[in-house]
Structure 1
Amino acid sequence: MVEANNTTVTLQVHRFTPRPERAERARGGSPFAKKSSPFGGGSDSAARRRPRGKQWVQEYTIPARPSDTVLDCLLTIKRTIDPTLAFRYSCGHGMCGSDAAAINGTPTLLCTATVRDWAKQPSTAPEVDDEGFRRTGDETANEPDVPAENVENNIPEGSLGVIELASLPGFPPQRDLIADIDPMLNQIRKLTPYLQADGVLVTTAEGKVDVFEYLQNPEQLAKYETLSNCIACGVCEGACPVYAGGDAFVGPAALIWASRFINDSRDTKAMDRMDAIDTADGVAGCQSVRACSRHCPRGIDVGEEMWQIVAKVRER
């Protein structure tokens, strides 16, 4: 069935333009200043600070179909309305993870989110009740519908609704929907995210390499296969209320990458890896909120895997 293209969607984009950096002073400055702090500051901390700049919300109303993705809508805006709108994407099929952002406040991938699933209609009930308390979904579920023409700022007929977009939470924005995920990638790198075998080649009686010595059975593969699907998109870190750039918590993404190799029977550094994450900002920083499990684009139950690695580290 071919969908009619006579509908529209409104995108409310939280935009951000950074303030131009000041040129470094040619001379002068304090003789007591230090480029780095012995307590963990320095350039990494400076990179995690939220940059200053202009912030505003801009609305775009464009033709769209329910099956269109949010990335499709942004590309339409970029190509036909506003070429200054900044967002990041690569494969466009949920495999690279480069287009992670917050849609209606929820971290997810722009290329896998459809208008049908994320467009929302305006609320017909007031935000707060007569006593000034915020209304909940249970309080408004049984209220009669109010005709669209009686709703203030109602969406026009033929509109699929409104989608609110912002950069990925937990990371400083670089421009519009582009977040600086370098803090997450640096945390992953610190945990040596690659296989570390003993390097000894087993040989047969004829002196040839015994390739069968390195095969894994299905049970060994199953322990880490799902974890190897992580694409480091940052969705789990954007959903985590504890993670905020890696200062107090290394983050679920880094721990998932560490767990992937800890559970690999071929890796010989499992104990060293567990020592590296057995710190105050490692597994001890996880509060078991399990918000990291929501909307993982690769289907990883991040919260469960976090619980498993925390238990393994504490029981070793």
Structure 2
Amino acid sequence: MVEANNTTVTLQVHRFTPRPERAERARGGSPFAKNSSPFGGGSDSAARRRPRGKQWVQEYTIPARPSDTVLDCLLTIKRTIDPTLAFRYSCGHGMCGSDAAAINGTPTLLCTATVRDWAKQPSTAPEVDDEGFRRTGDETANEPDVPAENVENNITEGSLGVIELASLPGFPPQRDLIADIDPMLNQIRKLTPYLQADGVLATTAEGKVDVFEYLQNPEQLAKYETLSNCIACGVCEGACPVYAGGDAFVGPAALIWASRFINDSRDTKAMDRMDAIDTADGVAGCQSVRACSRHCPRGIDVGEEMWQIVAKVRER
């Protein structure tokens, strides 16, 4: 295992710079109108609209070790090469979920992805054939393998491989690797993501406050404890082929938050919560693809939980 400081990694970053915002006005209408379109177009539709701007792929080759995270590499670029590169992070330890992005096409967290796990050696086979068609997996399987000594020579010469980075799929990009996750957060807010108890203060026979009012047994706690670990990072949303960042499907993250309180024995609004998600854009929008279970940074089997909540809603 090579841990020398003379090794490098190449990051291929899909960059995006939005166009400067311009004040829009309705054709033939007042420039002071609240909506620029006579057909509506409120804040929700504006949030779902993919912004226009300049898109390009930029490569950075930097010194790196296999144990470095992709976030470490981006910070090195930001501090020493290109201060204009935009990405988002906070804790840097997989607890806040703010740095979710697509690494080699897979939604995950930058701070938990290591160069060792994600760097790939560039293929020697061309991506298209002589007639201009993209090569498939069956065609490339018949290609001769790259000699092992060539791969070893690449590492010896210092190249750990290439990592491709892009903003989180399913959300409009704001700039470079920063995605606008407001559509997901708005969907979560619509489902009242907080405990709703009956509001009656329990008292003992002596008239004192009953401090054990909401005491739970281990079985009751286990029903929602795993779901309470969700950090709303958007990785499951970016992996879901159904979710498009709008109202067509509420999304797995919002349904996980709803399920967390539906399974809480202290909550008194379980039936109301199930009514809220028993809609065409709620549980009915889930196609059970289970792609949402991949790379959840908190270890939640999102696909299984989705199946459980869909079954509970339909059987109630």
| TM-score (ref. length: structure 1) | 0.91
Q: Describe the superposition over 1:210-248 as per-residue Cα deviations: whole angstroms up to 9, x where unpaired.
A: 222311011001111000000000000000001011221
Aligned length: 316
Q: Which runs of 5+ in 1 are unaligned?
A: none
Structure 1 contact 121–155 (Cα < 8 Å) conserved: no
User: How far off its partner does 1:138 sit?
Assistant: 5.3
**Contact 1:202–1:213 under 8 Å retained in 2:** yes
The farther-off stretch of 278-287 and 41-50 is 41-50
Show structure 2 runs of 5+ residues with no match.
none
Give, in whole Å, the separation in 1 of the partners of 2:281 and 2:15: 32
CA contact (8 A) 1:148 1:154 kept: no
User: Can you list the C-alpha shifts for 1:31-60, whole angstroms capped at 9, x where unaligned?
Assistant: 997728898842210111000111110000
Which is worse superposed, 18-27 or 249-258? 18-27
Q: 1:252 to 1:62 in 2, by over 3 A?
A: same
Q: Is the 8 A contact 2:167 2:177 kept in 1?
A: yes
Mapped contact 2:87–2:176 kept (Cα < 8 A):
yes
Pick closer, same or farther for the CA change 1:112–1:32 going to 2, 3 Å.
closer
Q: Could you tell me whether the CA contact under 8 Å between 1:183 and 1:246 is conserved in 2?
A: yes
1:114-153 equivalences in 2 (<5 Å)? 114-128=114-128, 134-137=134-137, 139-141=139-141, 143-146=143-146
Q: Tell me, yes or no, if the aligned pair for 1:101 and 1:177 is still in contact at 8 Å.
A: yes
Deviation, structure 1 residue 147: 5.6
**Helix, strand or coil: the match of 1:168?**
coil
Segment of structure 1 superposing worse, 96-105 or 23-32 = 23-32
What are the Cα deviations for residues 234-269 of structure 1, in whole angstroms up to 9, with x where unaligned?
000000001011221000000000000000000000
| Partner SS state of residue 47, structure 2 | helix
Question: Contact 1:237/1:292 (CA < 8 Å) preserved in 2?
Answer: yes
Given that 1:122 and 1:154 are in contact with CA atoms closer than 8 Å, whether structure 2 keeps it comes out as: no
Deviation at residue 203 of structure 1 after TM alignment: 1.2
Q: Secondary structure at the match of 2:36?
A: coil
CA distance in 1 between partners of 2:27 and 2:164 (Å): 46
**How much has 1:157 moved relative to structure 2?**
3.0
Q: Note if contact 1:102-1:168 (Cα within 8 Å) is conserved in structure 2.
A: yes
Taking a change above 3 Å as real, the CA distance of residues 278 and 219 of structure 1, as seen in their structure-2 partners, is same
Report if the CA contact (8 A) 1:224-1:261 is conserved: yes
Deviation, structure 1 residue 72: 0.1
Q: What is the Cα deviation at residue 24 of structure 1?
A: 5.0
Deviations 1:105-128 (A, max 9, x none): 000000000000000111122334
Determine if contact 1:169/1:238 at 8 Å carries over to the other structure: yes
| SS across alignment from 1:22 | coil
Secondary structure, in 3 states, of the residue corresponding to 2:308?
A: helix
Aligned to 2:103: 103
Moved more, 24-33 or 274-283: 24-33
Alpha-carbon offset, residue 205 of structure 1: 1.6
Structure 1 CA distance, aligned partners of 2:114 and 2:85?
20
| Change in 2 beyond 3 A, CA 1:207/1:40 | farther
**Aligned partners of 1:36 and 1:277: how far apart in 2?**
32
Is the Cα contact below 8 Å between 2:24 and 2:36 reproduced in 1?
no
When residues 149 and 81 of structure 1 are mapped into structure 2, their CA distance, relative to the original with a 3 A threshold, is: farther
Tell me the distance in 2 between the aligned counterparts of 1:242 and 1:308.
Answer: 18
Contact 2:15 2:175 in 1 (8 A): yes
**In 1, Cα distance between the equivalents of 2:23 and 2:180?**
22
Structure 1 residue matching 2:161: 3-state secondary structure? strand
Residues 5 and 31 (structure 1), Cα distance of their counterparts in 2 relative to 1, 3 Å cut: closer
Deviates more, 1:95-104 or 1:206-215: 206-215
Q: CA offset at residue 3 of structure 1? A: 2.5
Contact kept, 8 Å, 2:223 with 2:263, in 1: the verdict is: yes
**Any idea what the Cα deviations from partners look like across 1:53-101, whole Å, max 9, x if unmatched?**
1111000000000000000000000000000000000000000000000
